[in-house]
Every structure is written in structure tokens, then in C-alpha cells.
Amino acid sequence: MTIKRLDINQPETFSFSKKDNELIDKIIKNYPKDRKQSAVVPSLYIAQKRAGGWLPEKAISKVAEILEMPKMRVLEIATFYSMFNLKPTGDHFIQVCGTTPCWLRGSDKIKKACVELVGKEGEVSSESISWLEVECLGACVNAPAVQVNEDYYEDLNYENMIDLINNIKKKKAIKVGSQIGRVSSEPINTGKQNA
């Protein structure tokens, strides 16, 4: 984990869409009237999506304004959780799980594939792909796993990770989930999988 700071290059403006505002209002209504701040994490997540996968300063202060919170408190939350990115990410944002089960099952090789085909961790490539090592994705049974934007890709190894990134580059559709034909997290030697 590295120190999270606001990016040097900040966009001039940030605004929520009408739909975003409706969604945030709906989330706020889940909590008592004077406990608006409870909606801060989902609101920031919506803001991150709106800003293109990362949180500019304007987005943080906008969320603070909507939830009537001190800006400092919102910044604390944005820097605390690793799912909030304070630096721009690519259109295809690969989150590589590096926590113990994935690591034992070879996440180092996945990272190697990323370095070779995408580039340095945290930097956006010319094809607008970026990758980041993250904490446990919760897919330990199908380790190692990565998350690309909203989808999980599991049971990876060096070779199929290379294929995966190449397919992203070629804008080819990729099967979501296990890359070795496993259904959910069934035992690996049922004979059904094609690997």
C-alpha cells in the first residue's frame, strides 16, 4: 500500500448527474435525518464512478457539501479505503488481489503479466489500461483473482492473464468468472472443466 494523496492534475469542475443525485438522496433516506453523514461511502463511490474511476478534490468537497460534513472528514474516508482512487485510472482498471491466498496461488505472476503488458503499477497506459494491487477481493476459493472494472476474473495463471490483457487491448469480449471453465467454486477436479 502506498500513501494516498490527491492528484496533482485536478479537473476544473465536477458535478453529479440528475440520476446520481436521486440515488444519493435515496441512500440518505436510509438513515435518520440528522445522520446524513452515514451515506458518505456510497456517495463517494457514486462520485468516483461519475468522475471516471477516481476522486478529484472537487468531488470530495461536493460530497461534503451534500452531506453537510467537514471536508476534512470526507478526505479522511477517501484516503482510508483502498477502493477509492485519488489518482486517475484507465478505462479498464485491473485490480490485482495480492492478499495471502491469491499470493500463495501465484498472484506474483499475475502482477508480472501486468507489468509486462500494461506498465508500472498505478500508471495509465496509452491504451487507457491501469492496474493496482489491492487487498482481498473475497474470491479466495478461486484464487488468484483480478477485478476489471465491475467484473471478476478468477483461476488465473500467467498465461491466461496475458490472454486476458491482450483481449482487453483488442476490445474482445472476455468470459467473466473462472478462466478455466470452473462453475462457481466447485471442486477443481470434478472433470467438468476443460483445462
Partner 1 sequence: MPKIIIDGKDFEVEENLSIIQACEISGVEIPRFCYHEKLSVAGNCRMCLVDIEDARGMSPKPVASCAMQVSDGLKIHTKTQRVKKAREGVMEFLLINHPLDCPICDQGGECDLQDQSVAYGVGGSRYEQNKRSVENKDMGPFIKTEMNRCIHCTRCVRFSTEVSGSDEIGAIGRGRDMEITTYLDVAVKSELSGNVIDLCPVGALTSKPYAFSARPWELKQTESIDIMDAVGSNIRIDTKGNKVMRVLPRNNDEINEEWISDKTRFFWDGLSLQRIDKPYLRTDGKLRQISWEKALDVASDKFLNTKPEKIASIIGDLASIESIYALKKLMESIKSPNTECRQDGSKISGDRERWLFNSKLSGIDESDGCLLIGTNPKIEASIINSRLIRKSKENNYSIGLLGRKVDLNYDYKFLGDDPAIIYDLIDGKSSFSKNLLKMNKPLMIIGQGALRGNKGEDYLNLCIELAHKYNFLKDEWNGFNVLHTAASRPGAMEIGFLPGEKGKNLDQIIKSYKTGDISTLFLLGADEIDLSEKNDCFIIYQGHHGDKGANIADLILPSPSFNEQNGLFINTEGRVQESIRATFPLGEAKEDWEIISLISKTMGLSNIFKSFEELRSSLFYDYPNLSDLDFCLSSKKFPKKLNSKDIKDHIFTDSLNNFWLSNSITRSSKLMCERNNISKKLEQAID
Q: Would you tell me which residues interact with partner 1 (CB under 8 A)?
A: 1-4, 6, 57, 70-73, 75-76, 79-80
CB burial class (10 A; 0-12, 13-18, 19+) of residue 175? exposed
The answer to whether 33 and 42 are in contact (CB under 8 A) is no
Question: Could you tell me which residues are beta bridge partners of residue 133?
Answer: 96
Q: Which is nearer to partner 1, 34 or 150 (CB)?
A: 34
Compute the least distance from the CB of residue 77 to partner 1, in Å.
10
Compute the least distance from the CB of residue 61 to partner 1, in Å.
9
Compute the least distance from the CB of residue 193 to partner 1, in Å.
39
Q: Which is nearer to partner 1, 76 or 91 (CB)?
A: 76
For residue 88 the three cell numbers come to 486517475
d(CA 20, CA 50): 8
Q: Which is nearer to partner 1, 72 or 173 (CB)?
A: 72
Compute the least distance from the CB of residue 131 to partner 1, in Å.
20
Q: Which is nearer to partner 1, 68 or 150 (CB)?
A: 68
The answer to whether 90 and 128 are in contact (CB under 8 A) is yes
> Which residues are within 8 A (CB) of 1 and not within 5 positions of it... i.e. 6 or more apart?
82, 135
Q: Which is nearer to partner 1, 31 or 80 (CB)?
A: 80
d(CA 118, CA 185): 29
Compute the least distance from the CB of residue 82 to partner 1, in Å.
9
d(CA 46, CA 39): 11
